[in-house]
């Protein structure tokens, strides 16, 4: 059994053993909080909202229920407790962010199924990886770039067999080969780093922007987000490369066999198809429309229009889409957006943030730094979407106290929440690296920690020196 398989079995065992305790704790805390005398500076609706928020924290962090089922529970608890009407609660599922994510995932399915993304990967690695270190750099750079436009998890799944072709051709020994570790970690870290660059690398960014828009009326468009994240992404890509070649010095001196294997794989794919060309053009036009017309027409409208065009010209197959898209994730985001909106509307977010983070934080820089630090390390234990769902209401609740642009708070918390470099439970991309049999936990604990420390420094410099140029001054 692979390390990944053992990790899954251990997680299931822990979940089964702690399930009754987590359910009891969630129920007990809900009734204790709602039964307590309402503080003078809090209204009853906010008190009930905090009780629901605590239930979500317990269930999301313990994984007692699937994330999307916990979100559905949140949705129904608001009307059942009288905080929102049923119409208000369910209407929040119509948030634009959810339909943008839906459109992006469907388009990504077509790009992968057509073979276009695999063809680009093989072409890039075969022509750019002329030496062992350059091959690693190409792999990191390629994974980073592809995760600009597709889910980082999908990119990792797509790149995994390609990297396996390389290690098999080079006859690298699992667990012992430093070069094997570098290849799989380079693939993984590239996916993770690239995933924070745009709205397409993962759904945490659209979720955060959806909560931001729903609670404050302010938004961040596609280009603004990318410009804010890009310098950090480029620097972290370079730092990931230098970290790998220093911590895992290569025992390989020649990669000709690997390049030959990649060429054979590329030849087996045959000539580029009309479907690949058409989907590539459609994706480029869609990205251009997001950047230029996103604010005018709406990101979700453009995404859904692109999906309709893809089906109109028979570029997508609905059966393939059904298999590729994680439909349950939209339930998760609907509940998270509903929770964030209600926390802000009732004043629960501000009250809770003031009583928790507000006790220790006394300046704008301290608040932003604390949020980035917490998100960066919390994401190793729970999914980054859960981190965003739990922390966004608290973060926005404190932003007004220090007169911080809510866009800065959103970026400062959401970008670090995507950088899960250390543990396989942090992101499927890291779990995929462990499943290879070439990477040990101790390899990622130290190297991942080093990369996280680099990320904190680079992120702080970005906020201080670069973001003000974009009108995001702290």
The DSSP code sequence of 369-408 is: HHHHHHHHHHTTTS-HHHHHHHHHHHHHHHHTTTT--HHH
Q: Residue 267: how many CB atoms within 10 A of its CB?
A: 9
pTM for this entry: 0.80
> What is the percent of the chain where pLDDT is above 70?
95
Q: Which of 218-232, 397-411, 457-471 has the lowest mean pLDDT?
A: 397-411
Q: Which of 75-79, 339-343, 359-363 has the lowest mean pLDDT?
A: 359-363
Mean pLDDT for 412-438 is 82
**Phi, psi at residue 355, to the nearest 5°?**
-85, -15
Let me know how long the chain is. Answer: 474
What is the token pair recorded at 181?
């570790």
Nearest to 414 by CA among 237, 238, 201: 201
* Alpha-carbon torsion, ordered 460, 463, 469, 473, to 10 deg: -140
User: What letter would DSSP give residue 466?
Assistant: I
Q: Which domain holds residue 316?
A: 3-470
Distance CA 44, CA 234 (A): 48
The CA-based angle 88-89-91, given to 5 degrees, is 65
Mean pLDDT for 356-368 is 79
Confidence of residue 378 (pLDDT cuts 50, 70, 90): confident
pLDDT of residue 425: 66
Distance CA 172, CA 178 (A): 9
Give per-residue pLDDT as tens, 87-100: 888 887 777 778 88
Mean pLDDT for 369-397 is 82
pLDDT of residue 137: 92
Nearest to 411 by CA among 197, 186, 265: 197
Q: Which of 52-56, 130-134, 163-167, 328-332 has the lowest mean pLDDT?
A: 328-332
3-state helix, strand, coil in the chain (%, to 5): 80, 0, 20
What is the token pair recorded at 341?
């909106």
Mean pLDDT for 211-223 is 86
Mean pLDDT for 191-196 is 92
Distance CA 315, CA 254 (A): 40
Residue 116 confidence (pLDDT) above 80: yes
Confidence of residue 196 (pLDDT cuts 50, 70, 90): very high
Distance CA 233, CA 118 (A): 23
What is the token pair recorded at 267?
């030849």
Distance CA 76, CA 84 (A): 9
Mean pLDDT for 338-355 is 82
pLDDT of residue 285: 93
**Phi, psi at residue 317, to the nearest 5°?**
-115, 125
Mean pLDDT for 122-126 is 82
More confident residue, 397 or 82: 82
pLDDT of residue 358: 66
More confident residue, 353 or 159: 159
Chain centre to alpha carbon of residue 302: 22
pLDDT of residue 1: 44
Of 107-111, 167-171, 448-452, the range with the highest mean pLDDT is 448-452
Confidence of residue 445 (pLDDT cuts 50, 70, 90): confident
pLDDT of residue 192: 93
Q: Residue 47: how many CB atoms within 10 A of its CB?
A: 21
Mean pLDDT for 76-91 is 90
Distance CA 459, CA 415 (A): 9
Confidence of residue 17 (pLDDT cuts 50, 70, 90): low
CA distance to 102, 104, 122, 372, per residue, from 319 (Å): 15, 17, 27, 40
Work out how many domains the chain is built from and give that number: 1
Distance CA 323, CA 345 (A): 37
**DSSP per-residue codes, 109-157:** HHHHHHTHHHHHHHHHHHHH--SHHHHHHHHHHHHHHHHHHS-HHHHHH
Mean pLDDT for 218-238 is 92
More confident residue, 320 or 337: 320
Task: Provide the mean pLDDT of the chain.
Answer: 85
């Amino acid at each position: 059994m692979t390390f990944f398989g053992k990790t899954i079995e251990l997680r299931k065992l822990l979940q089964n053993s702690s399930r009754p305790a987590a359910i009891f704790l969630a129920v007990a805390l809900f009734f204790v909080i709602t039964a307590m005398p309402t503080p003078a500076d809090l209204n009853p609706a906010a008190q009930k909202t905090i009780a629901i928020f605590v239930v979500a924290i317990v269930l999301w962090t313990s994984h007692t229920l699937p994330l999307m089922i916990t979100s559905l529970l949140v949705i129904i608890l608001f009307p059942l407790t009288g905080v929102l009407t049923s119409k208000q609660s369910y209407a929040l599922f119509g948030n634009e962010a959810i339909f943008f994510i839906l459109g992006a995932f469907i388009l990504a399915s077509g790009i992968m199924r057509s073979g276009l993304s695999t063809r680009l990967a093989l072409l890039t690695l075969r022509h750019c990886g002329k030496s062992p270190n350059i091959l690693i750099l190409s792999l990191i750079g390629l994974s980073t770039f592809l995760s600009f436009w597709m889910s980082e998890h999908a990119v990792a799944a797509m790149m995994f067999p390609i990297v396996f072709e390389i290690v098999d051709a080079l006859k690298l020994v699992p667990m012992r080969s430093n070069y094997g570790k570098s290849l799989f970690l380079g693939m993984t870290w590239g996916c993770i780093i690239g995933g924070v660059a745009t709205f397409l690398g993962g759904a945490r960014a659209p979720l955060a922007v959806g909560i931001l828009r729903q609670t404050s009326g302010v938004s961040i468009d596609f280009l603004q987000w990318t410009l804010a994240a890009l310098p950090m992404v480029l620097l972290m890509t370079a730092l990931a490369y230098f970290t790998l070649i220093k911590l895992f010095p290569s025992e390989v001196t020649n990669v000709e066999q690997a390049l030959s294997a990649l060429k054979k794989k590329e030849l087996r794919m045959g000539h580029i198809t009309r479907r690949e060309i058409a989907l590539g053009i459609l994706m480029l036009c869609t990205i251009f429309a997001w950047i230029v017309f996103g604010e005018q027409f709406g990101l979700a409208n453009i995404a859904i229009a692109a999906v309709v065009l893809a089906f109109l010209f028979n570029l997508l197959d609905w059966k393939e889409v059904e298999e590729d898209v994680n439909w349950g994730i939209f339930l998760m985001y609907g509940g998270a957006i509903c929770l964030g909106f209600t926390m802000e509307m009732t004043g629960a977010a501000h009250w809770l943030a003031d009583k928790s983070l507000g006790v220790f934080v006394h300046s704008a820089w301290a608040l932003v730094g604390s949020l980035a630090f917490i998100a960066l390390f919390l994401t190793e234990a729970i999914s980054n979407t859960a981190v965003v769902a739990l922390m966004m209401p608290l973060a926005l609740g404190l932003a007004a106290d220090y007169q911080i642009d809510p866009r800065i708070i959103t970026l400062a918390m959401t970008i670090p929440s995507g950088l899960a470099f250390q543990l396989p439970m942090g992101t499927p991309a890291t779990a995929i690296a462990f499943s290879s049999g070439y990477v040990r936990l101790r390899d990622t604990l130290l190297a991942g920690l080093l990369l996280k420390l680099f990320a904190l420094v680079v992120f702080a410099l970005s906020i201080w020196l670069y973001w003000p140029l974009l009108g995001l001054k702290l």
